[in-house]
Amino acid sequence: MATLSGDAFQLEPQLAAAPLPALLHVAIRPARGWSSLELGEVWQYRELLLFLIWRDIKVRYKQTALGAAWAILQPVFSMVVFSLFFGRLAKVPSDGIPYPVFAYCALLPWQLFAYALTESSNSVVANERLITKVYFPRLVIPVAGVLAGLVDFAIAFSVLIILLLSYGIHPTWTVATLPLFVLLAILTALAVGLWLSALNVQYRDVRYTVGFLTQLWLFLSPVAYPSSLVPERWRPLYGLNPMAGVVEGFRWALLGKTPAPGAMLAVSVLVVILLLAGGLFYFRRMENSFADVI
Amino acid sequence: MSDLAIRCEGIAKQYQIGERETYRALRDALTEAFTAPFRRVQAALRRGDGGAPGGPPTIWAVKDISFEVRQGEVLGVIGRNGAGKSTLLKILSRITKPTRGTADIYGRVGSLLEVGTGFHPELTGRENVYLNGAILGMKKAEIARKFDEIVDFAELTDFIDTPVKRYSSGMYVRLAFAVAAHLETEVLFVDEVLAVGDADFQTKCLGKMDDVAKTGRTVLFVSHSTSAIQRLCPRCILLAGGRIDFDGSTEEAIGRYLRRVATDRYSAAADLEKPTITLASCEWVKREQCIVIRIGFQAPFPLYPPIVGVIVCDSARLPVFGTNQRFEHDDNLPKSMQNGIIEVCVSTSALRAGTYSISLWLADQYNDYCELRDVLSVQVDGPLPSGPQPPRSWIGSARLHTSYKYYEGDPNLMIGDARLV
């Protein structure tokens, strides 16, 4: 039968003559438990990653009356409410920083984290069509979900600059470390997002959990209150919540007045590394069945 | 072998069936976690008998699929719904993993399982071209280079900066296909994507696929359309029940396929939104010389009146006969019906022996709800022992009643004969 087809198809000889470059070899094998991360492949698909981020950003505020102003309104309103209730009424201490600045410095990374976490947790299910119809490294999807949040962050950051200027606060050299804390916030969201997005494919319970989880997490993080409220010896333990390290790190980097969150931050970084590594492997393991289960 | 493009060895894919509609809740997983060790022991005891009784029911979507495709070859894959075509394509496109078996593909792989994957309604045509191109695996520079060609092909030059949600469905699929058609990978998997747009555009798509095939790229082409397969692929694989039934010349594969599609039964799940044909069956009743077609339907609202259309086509897919109660009035037609079975008897006394395919259609007085093309097929045996016959393309499928009379003599003298006036 094979010869039959060969005879019928005349193009064969010409093709054999054409010098073909070394062809890519794609090996398809049954899924066998844990597999390697193949982050190199994700890098190969970086253009797709950028396109997906671009799509999310482009589409987000389409057909909204206020558009990108939402990126500012959300943290600003949260700041106002926090200042009023926690700062003014409940008299929560703020380490000697004006409460609005104190809260806004924390709300910035917090909103970045909360948004990135929500987006990445739902990303795989939301992109069902892509997953069942096209091949690409699935990791691209939650990563894109997380990174798309950076634009909102940048917009909201402009308000912070105005806020700092109006309170006459000048950042010190510590501000140079800020990108590291942004990175840590992103990685925290990605680490948790990887677990949740993969779980979400099989258990739609995740969809309902995420909102609740972020709410709870907000109060477990020193956003409305300073971590100095937590007794000194418990602080490394408090760092088990990576967002505690991120938020205090933000305040330290921007305002330079609070003490550097040394031990707490170290614990946070360690937790993120473990969560992220676990999340990556878990995601890679689960992705084999995404197209079948989703 | 250096000129090999695709090699499949014993590819098999098992799916769990049943309870797939409901998502697993965490609660279920927790109970399972407790019972799993016990079931694992059970399964170990039973190992070897294939289907695990007690466990969730499983089905092999494809099994023992082995074939090789050489570079530049264009291979067709045909088979009925559920024969495993799409599963095979999904495995080869790396969307899902095989349960068993291996496959090796040499070259950059592009797969078009659907046109317009990832199209976003809010984005403009231009933006979607770039997005969709990236999703299909094209580089940005590559898309930019082909952009004008793509837009020209889609015939959408004036609308390229309009959000695609304002496009007509025809414009939408034209743009989507245009992007897909310009994907230049060494190996290409194509699933039914040619059936888009109007007739003119379909011809254009087929032409484009012809070009693709001629550039020496390896193409695996899955389709229901035997004519498209015939045109594009010299070699064809016929899948049946998840296995390769035949691998060889397209002509023979199609012949076998048409003989195989003799389905006399169809069933589908009811749709909560619109009236659906949920059951259909047909049989040829020899004694009464008729095809009895039973159409079961379920609707979320009553149909005023329940209209069913039937089209009978011959093996060349040419319609022989069609009817519905809208234009051929039926005295028994009830005023309304919401659920039920409608039995249609079509006399076959005027049909030649052969395999006929039947298309069904469900409607009420004003709206069409459900159309199933070539969903059933039925074997009609001729009343006469069939000797050598001229081909259908000469004499057609109808066998209308014919009678003959014979008068011997000089025809000129017979003019004026009373019997012949």
pLDDT at B42 over 70: no
Which residues of chain A make contact with B214, given a CB cutoff of 8 A? 11
By Cβ distance, the residue of A8, A51, A55 closest to B234 is A8
Among chain B residues, CA nearest to A134:
B95
The whole-number pLDDT of residue A4 equals: 37
The whole-number pLDDT of residue A192 equals: 95
What is the set of domains in chain B, with CATH numbers?
A: 4-21+57-260 (3.40.50.300), 265-395 (2.70.50.60)
Q: Dig out the tokens for B368 from the structure.
A: 């069409």
Give the pLDDT mean for A95-107: 89
pLDDT at A197 over 90: yes
Q: Does a structural domain hold residue A95?
A: yes
pLDDT at A127 over 60: yes
What global pTM score does this model have?
0.71
By Cβ distance, the residue of B70, B95, B123 closest to A135 is B95
Among chain A residues, CA nearest to B118:
A130
The 10s digit of each residue's pLDDT in B354-374 is 778 899 999 999 989 988 888
CB within 8 Å: B103 and A28: yes
Q: Does a structural domain hold residue A10?
A: no
Q: Does a structural domain hold residue A16?
A: no
The 10s digit of each residue's pLDDT in B253-278 is 877 776 665 566 788 888 888 899 98
The whole-number pLDDT of residue A142 equals: 94
Q: Does a structural domain hold residue A273?
A: yes
Using an 8 Å Cβ cutoff, are B248 and B267 in contact?
no
Strand order in the sheet with B265-267: B265-267, B276-285, B290-303, B337-347
Q: Does a structural domain hold residue A179?
A: yes
**How confident is the prediction for chain A on average, in pLDDT?**
85
How far apart are the C-alpha atoms of B22 and B19, rounded to whole Å?
Answer: 6
The whole-number pLDDT of residue A1 equals: 36
Strands (DSSP E) along B80-162, which ranges? Answer: 100-106, 109-112
Give the ipTM.
0.80
Give the pLDDT mean for A165-173: 87
How far apart are the C-alpha atoms of A167 and A149, rounded to whole Å?
Answer: 27
The B residues from 230 to 259 touching A (CB cutoff 8 Å) are 234-235, 247-249
By Cβ distance, the residue of A12, A135, A202 closest to B24 is A202
Phi, psi of B101 (to 5 degrees): 90, 165
CB within 8 Å: B25 and A134: no
Using an 8 Å Cβ cutoff, are A108 and A184 in contact?
no
Question: Is residue B50 very low, low, confident or very high in pLDDT (cuts 50, 70, 90)?
Answer: very low
Which residues of chain B make contact with A148, given a CB cutoff of 8 A? none
Give the pLDDT mean for B389-398: 73
Give the pLDDT mean for B295-307: 92
Among chain B residues, CA nearest to A293:
B20
The whole-number pLDDT of residue A8 equals: 37
The whole-number pLDDT of residue B126 equals: 92
Q: Does a structural domain hold residue A172?
A: yes
Distance from CA of B200 to the nearest CA of A (A): 26
pLDDT at B49 over 50: no
CB within 8 Å: A133 and B95: yes
3 state SS of B381? coil
pLDDT at B20 over 80: no
Which residues of chain B make contact with A54, given a CB cutoff of 8 A? 131
> A205: domain range?
38-293
Of A77-86, A159-168, B67-76, B187-196, the least confident: B187-196
Question: Is residue B168 very low, low, confident or very high in pLDDT (cuts 50, 70, 90)?
Answer: confident
CB within 8 Å: A15 and B248: no
Name, in order, each residue with C-beta under 8 angstroms of A248's C-beta and a sequence gap of 6 or more. Answer: A222, A226, A227, A258, A261, A264, A265
pLDDT at A68 over 60: yes
Q: Does a structural domain hold residue A5?
A: no
The whole-number pLDDT of residue B51 equals: 43
User: How many folded domains does chain A comprise?
Assistant: 1
As beta bridge partners, residue B298 has B276, B339
Residue type, A273: I
The whole-number pLDDT of residue B259 equals: 66
3 state SS of B163? strand
Q: Does a structural domain hold residue A4?
A: no
Q: Is B128's Cβ below 8 Å from some Cβ in A?
A: no
CB atoms within 10 A of CB B161: 9
pLDDT at A5 over 50: no
The B residues from 181 to 200 touching A (CB cutoff 8 Å) are 186
Of these ranges, A72-81, A184-193, B338-347, the one predicted with the greatest mean pLDDT is: A184-193
Strands (DSSP E) along B143-223, which ranges? Answer: 187-191, 218-222
Which whole-number Å values give the CA distances from B312 to B106, B218, B290, B357, in the listed order?
44, 37, 12, 6
